[in-house]
Structure 1
Amino acid sequence: MGKCISFFLLMFMFFNQGISQNPQLKSGVVFKKLFLDYQSQNGGSFSEFKEYRHGYEIGYHRMLSDKIAINFPLRYGVVNSHLDSINCLKKRVASLDAQFQYQFNEPGRKIIPYVLAGVGGVMEQEGDFNIQIPAGLGFYFRLAPNAYVTIQSEFRYSLAESRNNLQHGVGFTYLFGKAPEETPKIMEKVMEDNDNDGIANELDLCPNAFGSKELNGCPDKDGDGVADYLDKCPDTKGLAAFGGCPDTDMDGISDNEDECPNVAGTKALKGCPEKVVDTDGDGVPDADDKCPGEKGTSATMGCQDADGDGVVDKDDKCPNKPGLKVYYGCPDTDGDGIDDSRDKCPKVAGTVANEGCPEIKSEDKKTLEVAMQAVQFQTGSAILKSESNAVLNQIADIMNRYPDFNMNISGHTDNTGSSSANQSLSERRAKTCYDYLIKRGISADRMNHTGFGESRPISTNDNEKGRTLNRRVEFNLVNRQ
């Protein structure tokens, strides 16, 4: 018995928590006379009404909403023992359920059908306890706003063996609290709406034309927010500021009053622009054209810009090559800060001091200086001595490292012998070095050679040391033009 009480207390506390959240809904009590049938579900006959036993129910009823209720019926009765349908013994049983009802209720209905389902615990006379699951249907017959006669039948499925049963009941339900007052119906005045636009004639500014609430019942064919009866251009979407007409050129003059609706103009000229003088026909008025005698573009204020670099031709030092404004329209291909028009090495970054060409390294300059005396020839001839080959090879390497430079090769002699013979010898020696470098892969168009004979001494010819210095071949790197 203790188990049964604990089970029902737990169940009641759980459901009561949900009920307490709806204190505004009705509570009530239920009383029923029960007819208990354990026999038909356990080997007996359903039609043997005399086998039905009696019981009683008292319960708590709670409306959770206008259609859903919960009941806690406490029942007591005497049933025939399920163990022997023929020689059955009478047995007392007590039960407590939690049952949910769904009521097919509508305002004013006198008969309210409902279905139910739930769970319950049953304690038998001998101390046996089992769980049963009821499901059924019933009817409420309204006697008064708070009072009902109840008829109910339910099938109860037991989780214990041979305890399924049917229970039928007839009783009375009373709900506490004040019955809801019916709100009296207020007779609404029937208002006419000739155009069926949902706006009564009394409020409709256009009672015979279908319109919108926003425009007080008036139509707006072009959908510009200006009612047709106020719209100066009812078939063309426009602006309220212009009485529903558009202003295509946005010159402040509506199209219906604008003689040039697609070109912005002035009010004085009825929406048309003032006549503009454009002598060269480039679309830039002479008043704004910095070159009114030549066709240009608006971007260059009417002046020509052949290379499209933004520097007009009259100010462009390189009018056929796109360049930068800072260089007066000339490019700076190698990005060394010296524009190509002044850069003698435009494809290789260099220095201002070297006119845009890279500086020659000091060790390479030293090699060229040494070469003046290191390149040796057989006495009185233009035939190279073998030790000169290594020096010329170094010069070829230097030429390859400085592709933007050319080389001037010049031959010189002392004053021994006739000047004509010395002139010829200096030319032939310079040519010999030139030919050697070509064989080493240096392009001929990067070199030139010449002889100066005895005309350009770098020392005295009065002694052997000075004459030795004057007999030389010079190799000078120069910027390519």
Structure 2
Amino acid sequence: MKRLLMSSLLLLCAFGLTAQMNNLKSYNALSARVLAIDHQSINDGIDEASPTFALEVGFRRQFSKIFGIMVPIKVGIIDVGELDNITISGIEVLGQLYPAGTDGKISPYLHAGYGVVSERLENANRQIPLGVGLNFRLDGNSWFNIQGEYRISDQENRDNIMAGIGYVYRLSSIDSDKDGIINRDDKCPDLPGPLATNGCPDADMDGVTDDKDRCPTEAGNANLAGCPDTDQDGTPNVDDKCPELAGPADKMGCPDADGDGINDEADECPELAGKAELDGCPDTDGDGVKDSEDECPNTAGNPRLKGCPDADGDGIPDKDDKCPDLAGESDSGCPDKDGDGVSDDEDKCPGIAGTFNGCPDTDGDGVGDDLDRCPTQAGTADNAGCPEIKQEVKERLEYAARAVRFETGSDKLKEESYIVLSEVAGIMRQYPDYDLTISGHTDNVGSDVTNLALSERRAAACLKFIVATGIKEGRISSAGYGESRPVADNGTASGRRINRRVEFGLNPRR
């Protein structure tokens, strides 16, 4: 067991030293703690022991961001078995691993090591401490510490648990690049640089560090990534094609912004390269109409139509012609194939003459077939062209919601429900353009999940029965809502009975 612990300690140290080579950030720290020690809880051979206390001071060398070596010295008094108020002292070496580093507001760590504890300054035992701790940052160099550890001794009845609280202070850090700025404050700890740039090099001394300076050998403007701007036009010399003449930045700093050889003052399109015969404006499609006046600048067209083409020659430019490949006489430029006075582009039924958006009204109810959900049955516009459901039918559907019955806690239909559901199927035959929705509901007795599942099964059972009478399944949908939609008070027996229902709704087919 102890060999395994020692192997773990060696692996911890090896991991930490490897991290040191890859992520150097070393410093020294001092610590002080008050410790509480418990021997009795983990040693069956000790009949009596009192929690005892000790003081500890320590020195830590942090080799890297995640690994350090701690050397604590302890002095205290213990009361364990035959040792009554005996002075103890100890020293040990610990490897500490900081998985998240040491600079956070909270820095957790693990440690393991080897130490010697002396009792009465004469009897010494060797111990292996294994522990965890947390450092809570107070300010730049100060931490509050909480630590606990399990200590394994090579002597009988000397294993113990130790916990403590204390204070840690970080000493000055190392200055790796010798630029006078310690590593923890140096943004470039391996490259010397001035304090003004937080320790990073700045060859041209313009206040912009070399890693961010586009012109590291020429002093320049911080707002221009460290490059100079001779003509002060906001374009750095490195990007300015006319560094001695001020010009707009989007035109490379030259006064002929579009570079078409025409002075900006005489150029009607100073930001777009163009032709001299068009006053310096471009003509992208080459139809002789400058782009600024061409309503179709990317397609060659007729100057009389503001540069737009007219493929079918009907005098309506293609961009406004809803039928650009078919000559038409209407304002939209489209033909009227069925001669009903509605041009094909607006005719909902272009192959059939009609007066309702160009569509016929087969059932003569004043709703065109394109909008009529029941085109073969006269209805009303308010009901999407479908016939209104008779009041007595609505009442029978409401009755069916109360009359359908199931076996208790089951989706099995009672026989008296067969007549009710057969009547619902008959109603669907009376309204062939309507679909049916079936909604299952329960009271609040039982769990939400159980009630929801039961309501879904009961609605599905009704659907199955109606389909069995010859109604197409595609005309029916079912859903369960459990106890979520009560219509009566679930606090009474009569209210719960009303809430246990299956509702039926007829809707015009979409």
TM-score range, shorter chain: 0.3 to 0.5
TM-score normalised by length of structure 1: 0.38
| Greater relative contact order (Cα < 8 A, sep 6+) | 1
The structure with the larger Rg is 1
